[in-house]
């Protein structure tokens, strides 16, 4: 059984009372079981929790007073094995579930409409199914350079397609846009996973709708997605930003510690009982 | 009482079986009462109806065979008077309902993130509340030319801001983007309303969240929004397109007939009874 | 010997006096010899001729009064054979002539700076020289669809790279941008050449600087560039537009008749003597 | 008489032999007289000087070997008083000199074509002449924030128009684009001038063609343009970059020292004689 332990710390300087929406807790999601979790906000203040019943995304809203705000999330999560990615067919548009259709549409950072012809030209003739999505990811591996700091946070899939560099969010946005342009519903997934090389950071991957289910892909291949603690899913980064601040604030620190362990079922059981 | 009668006809040539998602029926919405309605599809075929429980938007999905497809929607709708737009304050972000937050975020055609500084520079110092939204609309009236055919269907708010011309969808997208950039939630509304001058067409307006409610604005001032039969609301045009087709299809005809009448309560009661 | 005969007719409706800059005459260029030419403007009016001594581009400026303006250019041009495109090496930047450097820079419609990484990723590892430029053109042949009417006149290389469709100007702009991004100077060439299929139109190709000379390429492969009557060269379309109008004018007609003939040297000599 | 003394130092680390084009010397220009100047390159190496006879821009090209390259330019320049900016009319397009027409065209960083309607809408109804250019600059003073570091070096006029922030180059590009959109030729000017507040940096302003001459404007109002040592003029930044490097190089240091002095004619004469 895969257990991932997360400790994330965000620290801000607040110039005057600011409203925050944090999205840093493990999602309500059938793919994992939260064994323990703890959210610590300093200074202590009233917060409002809410979750989106469609996605299972969880949010914390608060009004931070002038001064220093720190928010720490600790969780220990048991992650279910991912299904095998073999022989997964695409689903004809006419069979897509109604609630999945929204993930076919272009969004702010995934302009599948603009990239429609490029996607068709590059991947339209390939065998359909999971191997087509894999072909998109393989192409990104060779064509797009993983280059932290190259783009700012406003870079969209179309720009990544031209600029050929980015971080995990950019790779995922481009993968999503290309899938949607091929009539494969796709959505962004953000979460915690250990990178092979530091520094640790929030990670973004994406899911494509294949064989009547969401199947996750990491086009950066920087981490083991079977150990990813899912925080949220959305149309693109704007649905699942880790923090959205309204007001004059400055991020002072972002520190993530992520431990991954494989444990026997027995141990899990005990932990579970204790939590 | 305001009664609006709609007859809309779409006709397509289908080169080979194509999937359609139509979004042309009056929404499930407390602002109106559908007195009668009829959806006629030729040739007769199996369709799937679904609606989005959040927005009340209704959709019809179908697989059209090769040949001619025509879809006609007839409805007679009693429209409730709109609330007065006086003294409506903005709502501080920290008091926005959770489910309204999504309408603060940039979307494909409303890049409020890119337009953030422009919105602040142009409207940031104005008195807040409904008069600020009105100021945005007044500015659009002078700065943006209503010019059918100038933009294609892929024009976004940012492009309209630069190009200074467009149709109702473009005006609405820009109004939405500017509102969101000022932390006023806003969303697109599409529907049927009679234009002063023909030809009739689908219309797009927008709603801003003021005084804890959605308040509708028509920045083009081309029609009487108190007579608008609402078809749907969404983040932008991609959530509420009247028709989305997957396949090789060609629109042959789009004909709208819209009649608006003011009727006494008595008459309404009879019509209602008969429907 | 190759002889190409051109008759081009442009006709405008002028709402009120408008200034025009026409660029429709065969360039002053060592690659061809103008055997005969005639410029006819109706109504008769004062015109100003000028030419750019760097490029040899010729321009006609005039103030057209309200009414109908027609401008007809007739020319018979003997075109020198193009040099063979074999074994042409690229030129190291440090050896580029000073006056060629300008064609390394990005221009309005050839954003070689934005496409820099894409060009390097796609063509950076290929053998250098003419075969690299040929590889760019071969790629465009498969990746970009020749699709008149898809783009408007404001489409730039970066947009063509994303949208994957366009006309000869778009192909040429993209070829130029990719060459410049690889440190190969490149420039636009416009002129008259017979298309295999009507309608005839102005054509755009491009030149790359190889082996210390300008070498011409037609990435659309729609015409025989060895029969092209060169009208002008420039950084991009804005330097060589066939007509630039200042004022309220409307193009009524654009008709090109182009005849290509191979003639014996003897015949040429006679024609030349008679002109 | 105005005397400005410049000492500029650029220092690079060169990973492997790289080609440089420097553009840091006072232009050949009738608006100033170079009293003394000295270009020092370390290590000593062969350089190639060339100048553009149209613009008077001077360039130095060199192949820098692996290691550290430093280039220092020292100059003492007597600057002629600028003409008064009173009652300068615009020039009808039909009267523009042929060689000035190029500055009406959109360029890479000044998309006057895209901004055409916006310029007309905002400034089209104003009284023409120098006061219209002044109105553009006044508008930029209130609408665009001077914000070093906000944009990267690839920001164009259209983006500045949307983003509403930038440095002197961005202000100048936007001013140029708006002028051209109003049929006023405009071009970029770069040079040395003392900023009121450190750090000193290269400065960009622009010239508009008014009353049959180039008239200079500084939309940032950060410096006294009558003390500017002109280095070059061009369509936009790509014509006048201070340094263009081909190869793997890193800027280590950029240090400018600029002294401005008003001197009596007598003193000048002596200095001149001594130089």
State both tokens at B258: 């819209």
Q: What distance in Å separates the CA atoms of residue A274 and residue A268, rounded to the nearest whole number? A: 10
A161 lies in some domain = yes
Q: Taking residues B1-11, report their average pLDDT.
A: 95
Spatial strand order in the sheet of B249-262? B32-42, B67-79, B2-14, B249-262
Give chain A's mean pLDDT: 93
Instruction: Quickly state the pLDDT bin for B75 (edges 50, 70, 90).
Output: very high
Confidence (pTM): 0.93
Same domain for B61 and B132, yes or no, is no
Any chain D CB within 8 A of the CB of C94?
yes
Cβ distance B121 to D161 less than 8 Å, yes or no, reads: no
Instruction: Quickly state the pLDDT bin for C156 (edges 50, 70, 90).
Output: very high
- In Å, what is the CA distance from D212 to each residue of C120, D69, D209? 45, 43, 6
Q: Taking residues B90-103, report their average pLDDT.
A: 97
Same domain for D121 and D207, yes or no, is yes
Whether the CB-CB separation of C28 and C232 falls below 8 Å is answered with no
Query: Which residues are C259's β-sheet partners?
Result: C5
C75 lies in some domain = yes
Give chain C's mean pLDDT: 93
Cβ distance B98 to A238 less than 8 Å, yes or no, reads: no
Of A115, A142, A164, the CB nearest to C162: A115
The number of distinct structural domains making up chain D is 2
How do residues A234-264 score in pLDDT, each as one tens digit?
999 999 999 999 999 999 999 999 998 877 6
Burial class (CB in 10 A: 0-12, 13-18, 19+), C153: exposed
Same domain for A164 and A260, yes or no, is no
Model confidence at A269: pLDDT above 70: no
What sign results for the dihedral spanned by CA atoms C262, C268, C272, C275? negative
Same domain for C148 and C225, yes or no, is yes
- In Å, what is the CA distance from D6 to each residue of A253, C84, C181, D55, D258? 42, 51, 34, 21, 5
- In Å, what is the CA distance from C46 to each residue of B85, C9, C27, C60, D97? 61, 19, 21, 10, 16
Instruction: Quickly state the pLDDT bin for A266 (edges 50, 70, 90).
Output: low
Whether the CB-CB separation of C11 and C69 falls below 8 Å is answered with yes
Any chain A CB within 8 A of the CB of C74?
no
Q: Determine what percent of chain A falls in helix, strand and coil, rounding each to the nearest 5.
A: 25, 40, 35
Q: What distance in Å separates the CA atoms of residue A236 and residue B176, rounded to the nearest whole number? A: 19
Same domain for C105 and C144, yes or no, is yes
- Report chain B residues whose CB lies below 8 A from the CB of A114: 154
Q: Chain D: residue nearest C246 by CA?
A: D93
pLDDT confidence of residue A273: 38
A19 lies in some domain = yes
Same domain for C51 and C118, yes or no, is no
CA of residue C262 relative to chain centroid, distance? 22
D87 lies in some domain = no
Model confidence at D268: pLDDT above 70: no
Burial class (CB in 10 A: 0-12, 13-18, 19+), B100: middle
Same domain for D107 and D228, yes or no, is yes
Same domain for B112 and B216, yes or no, is yes
Among C residues 114-133, those touching chain D with beta carbons less than 8 Å apart:
114
Three-state SS at B87: coil
State both tokens at D105: 């065209």
D101 lies in some domain = yes
Higher pLDDT, C269 or C92: C92
- The Cα angle at residue B209 between residues B204 and B212, in degrees rounded to 5: 140
Same domain for D107 and D224, yes or no, is yes
Among C residues 143-172, those touching chain A with beta carbons less than 8 Å apart:
143, 145, 158, 161-165
| Phi, psi of D100, rounded to the nearest 5 degrees | -90, -20
ipTM for this prediction: 0.92
Q: What is the DSSP letter of D30?
A: T
Any chain D CB within 8 A of the CB of C111?
yes
CATH number of the domain enclosing B17: 2.60.40.2250
Same domain for D190 and D140, yes or no, is yes
Domain span holding position C64 = 2-80+241-274
Q: Chain A: residue nearest B238 by CA?
A: A105
Instruction: Quickly state the pLDDT bin for B265 (edges 50, 70, 90).
Output: low
Any chain C CB within 8 A of the CB of D97?
no
pLDDT confidence of residue A272: 41
Nearest chain D CA: its distance from B73 CA (Å):
39
- Report chain A residues whose CB lies below 8 A from the CB of B92: 19
Same domain for C106 and C164, yes or no, is yes
A86 lies in some domain = no
Same domain for B68 and B117, yes or no, is no
Whether the CB-CB separation of D68 and D142 falls below 8 Å is answered with no
Nearest chain C CA: its distance from D153 CA (Å):
10
B211 lies in some domain = yes
Whether the CB-CB separation of A224 and A3 falls below 8 Å is answered with no
Q: What distance in Å separates the CA atoms of residue C260 and residue C200, rounded to the nearest whole number? A: 13
CATH number of the domain enclosing C220: 3.10.620.30
Q: Taking residues D83-106, report their average pLDDT.
A: 94
Model confidence at D226: pLDDT above 60: yes
- In Å, what is the CA distance from C13 to each residue of A207, C59, C247? 56, 21, 11
| Phi, psi of A157, rounded to the nearest 5 degrees | -55, -45
pLDDT confidence of residue C272: 41
Of D142, D145, D161, the CB nearest to B162: D161
B236 lies in some domain = no
Sequence-distant (6+) residues with CB within 8 A of B199 are B256
Judged by phi (left if over 0) then psi (alpha if -120 to 50, else beta), residue D15 lies in alpha
CA of residue C166 relative to chain centroid, distance? 15
Cβ distance C105 to D107 less than 8 Å, yes or no, reads: no
Q: What distance in Å separates the CA atoms of residue A155 and residue A174, rounded to the nearest whole number? A: 10
């Amino acid at each position: 059984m895969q257990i991932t332990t997360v400790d994330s710390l965000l620290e801000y300087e607040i110039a005057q009372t600011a409203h925050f929406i944090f999205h840093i807790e493990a999602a309500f999601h059938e793919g994992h079981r939260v064994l323990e979790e703890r959210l610590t906000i300093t200074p202590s203040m009233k917060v409002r929790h809410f979750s989106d019943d469609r996605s299972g995304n969880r949010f914390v809203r608060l009004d931070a007073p002038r001064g220093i705000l720190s928010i720490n999330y600790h969780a220990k999560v048991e992650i279910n094995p991912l299904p095998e990615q073999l022989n997964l067919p695409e689903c004809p548009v006419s069979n897509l579930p109604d609630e999945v259709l929204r993930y076919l549409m272009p969004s702010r950072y995934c302009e599948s409409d603009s990239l429609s012809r490029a996607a068709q030209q590059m991947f339209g003739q390939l065998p359909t199914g999971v191997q087509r999505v894999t072909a998109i990811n393989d192409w990104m591996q060779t064509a797009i350079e993983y280059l932290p700091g190259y783009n700012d946070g406003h870079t969209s899939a179309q720009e990544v397609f031209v600029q050929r560099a980015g971080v995990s969010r950019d790779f995922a946005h481009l993968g999503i846009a290309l899938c949607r342009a091929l009539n494969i519903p796709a959505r962004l997934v953000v979460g915690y996973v250990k990178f092979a090389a530091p520094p640790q950071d929030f990670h973004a991957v994406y899911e494509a709708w294949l064989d009547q289910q969401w199947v996750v892909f990491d086009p950066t291949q920087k981490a083991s997605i079977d150990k990813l603690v899912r925080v949220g899913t959305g149309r693109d980064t704007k649905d699942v930003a880790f923090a959205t601040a309204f007001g004059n604030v400055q991020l002072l620190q972002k520190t993530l510690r992520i431990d991954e362990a494989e444990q026997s079922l027995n141990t899990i059981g005990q932990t579970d009982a204790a939590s």
